[in-house]
Amino acid sequence: MVDGVGFASVGSILGISNASIARALNLPVVLVVPSPRSSLGFAIDAFNLSSCYFTAHGVDVVGLAITKVPADGSALLRDYVSRFFEQHQHLYRTRFLGLTSKHEALEFPHVSELASKLNSCQLVTEQALEMLPEDELRCQAIESTFVDGIDTMLLLAELRERFSSRSANR
Residue ranges per structural domain of the chain: 12-169
DSSP 17: -
Q: With beta carbons less than 8 A apart as the criterion, state whether 34 and 145 touch.
A: no
Q: With beta carbons less than 8 A apart as the criterion, state whether 19 and 8 touch.
A: yes
Contacts of 46 (CB under 8 A, 6+ apart): 7, 31, 33, 34
Lowest mean pLDDT among 4-8, 61-65, 72-76, 105-109: 105-109
Q: Is the pLDDT of residue 123 over 50?
A: no
Answering whether pTM is above 0.85, one says no
Q: Is the pLDDT of residue 115 over 80?
A: no
Contacts of 65 (CB under 8 A, 6+ apart): 30, 31, 32, 33, 97, 98, 99, 100, 149, 150
Q: Is the pLDDT of residue 102 over 50?
A: yes
